[in-house]
Amino acid sequence: MMKHLYCTAGAGMEELLAEEVQHKLCATQVEQISGRVFFCSNADLHTVTQLKSAERLFLLLRKAEPISLPNNPAKAAAVIKQRVVGDPDIWKQTLLTWTALQEELQGSQQRGHKRRREEDEEESLTVADESTRTLTSSTHLLKRQNETNKESREQTPSFRVSCRCSGVIARSYTSQRLGRIIGMAIKEHLGWKVDLKEPVLEVNVYLSNDHCVVGIPLLKHPLASRSYMKHNGLRSTIAWAMTSLCPKQLNDCVILDPMCGVGAVLLEAAQEYSNAVFLGMDTDTSQLQKAAENLKASGMEGRVQLIRSSAMEIPLADGAVDAVLCDIPFGRKFSCSSDMPTALPRLLREMERVIRVGGHLVLLLSLQLSAQLKKTICTHKNNQYLNSSDTNNVHTDPSNTHNESTDTPKTLLISSLQAQRTHRVSLGSTDAFIHIYTKIQTQAHSH
């Protein structure tokens, strides 16, 4: 069944999400706007739910041109009924599609419970008995949900509206006020029942200067909430982006995260590359313990080796790894953040040392650390200036207002890494850059 869907995405993730739906779902009619990617796919819903760069998944109900609402409440309600709600038959058909997809998803979950039960039966009778009780409980829940779906087909469903608005329309109407107006229009036009606490459907509306989008969530929980993350660290979508932006496939490779924290980056990489070897290092024993618990919860214990070590002195030989993926700590939650600009050149040299020629370095950095990175890694263009007596000419970054000879000594400049790509992403309260480099030669290290 061809489905018209869309996913929300964090700022900077739209392009990656568009590429992912095309690659993994063979999606068509792919269109991206700020914070959303629209597409059509006949992939089964379970496959769709495996998207790694998306935040939430929606069944598209309506996508139209932006609306302009008059100040008169009665006239505004009439415009919303016509432009946002539109044709009742489309809503009825969308409800039938949503119900069918819910049944498909429940069937997939039930088969998953059955497979897990059978696996547990092979391990021990005790575990099998417990799994049977769990399956029975799940079956009852699925039965109740099926009854709810049946009611939604045969009766008028209950709903609530979640509305977000921006631009010109937000100057005259709050999201809450628009939500009430839209809710009343749906109730009047379709006869659906308002239920703010436990509705069968949640209708999501997004109004901006450019778009009017109406959709229904297909899942209660965000796709970005990984079930295998017992302890949260870096947002999973950003961790996945660091893996996906690496210039080459990482199967049959050795991948290192020398500041792994709770293991978010390594876990996302391990989900994608089944034949790679993963090494995680950190100086914080409590972080390594959390990483170990995340690995156990995800079933990746045997695939990721954790080592207590400093990223300043990585206990590996030169050229020992194919790729380094690292979220360089920054922000208030990291006590080392104030010293990181000073430590960054040494960290980079040590990471560069253990990467083989042809290998890759993928770093997530704050805006401040990104500027510092440009002072430390020299591009091929300005390598010619390395031996110049005027060290201020080594870097051409116009934002650099400090004396390079004091901020970045010549002995710490790195010329063996070639920039491939820089990608800006949002971390919620702040932005960051993902930098991708390829090692093109062996760096001459001073000791």
Is the pLDDT confidence value at 13 over 60? yes
Strands of 320-439 (E only): list them: 321-327, 355-366, 417-426, 431-439
- What pLDDT is stored for residue 331 in this prediction? 56
Least confident among 102-116, 334-348, 394-408: 394-408
pLDDT tens digits, one per residue of 320-334: 999 999 999 875 444
pTM above 0.85, yes or no: no
- What pLDDT is stored for residue 44 in this prediction? 92
pLDDT tens digits, one per residue of 94-150: 999 999 999 988 876 655 555 555 554 554 444 445 444 545 555 555 555 555 555
Percentage of the chain exceeding pLDDT 90 = 57
- What pLDDT is stored for residue 125 in this prediction? 46
- What pLDDT is stored for residue 375 in this prediction? 81
Q: Tell me if 44 sits within 8 A of 165, measured CB to CB.
A: no
Task: Tell me the pLDDT band of 156, cut-offs 50, 70 and 90.
Answer: confident
pLDDT tens digits, one per residue of 24-78: 999 999 999 999 999 999 999 999 999 999 999 999 999 988 888 888 878 888 8
- In the three-class reduction of DSSP (H, G, I as helix; E, B as strand; rest coil), residue 361 is classed as strand
Task: Tell me the pLDDT band of 395, cut-offs 50, 70 and 90.
Answer: very low
- What pLDDT is stored for residue 105 in this prediction? 86
Which residues contact residue 80 at a Cβ distance below 8 angstroms, ignoring those fewer than 6 apart? 67, 69, 178, 181, 182, 185
Average pLDDT over all residues of the chain: 83
Count of all residues that appear for the chain in the document: 447
What kind and span of H or E run contains 296?
A: helix 285-298
Q: Tell me if 58 sits within 8 A of 39, measured CB to CB.
A: no
Q: Tell me if 281 sits within 8 A of 307, measured CB to CB.
A: yes
Domains detected in the chain:
56-217 (3.30.2300.10), 236-439 (3.40.50.150)
* Residue scoring higher pLDDT (133 or 183): 183
Least confident among 100-114, 166-180, 226-240, 293-307: 100-114
The C-alpha atoms of residue 20 and residue 1 are separated, in whole angstroms, by 20
Q: Greatest CA span in the chain, whole angstroms?
A: 82
Taking Cα atoms as reference points, which of 406, 202, 431, 234 lies closest to residue 327? 234
Q: Dump the DSSP string for 201-248.
A: EEEEEEE-SS-EEEEEES-SS-TTS-TT-SS--S-HHHHHHHHHTSSS
- In the three-class reduction of DSSP (H, G, I as helix; E, B as strand; rest coil), residue 125 is classed as helix
- Residue indicated by tokens 């990181």: 340
- What pLDDT is stored for residue 333 in this prediction? 43
Task: Tell me the pLDDT band of 216, cut-offs 50, 70 and 90.
Answer: very high
Residue 249 carries which side chain, given as an amino acid letter? Q
Q: Dump the DSSP string for 432-445.
A: EEEEEEEE-S----
Q: Taking residues 275-285, what's their average pLDDT?
A: 95
The C-alpha atoms of residue 86 and residue 189 are separated, in whole angstroms, by 9
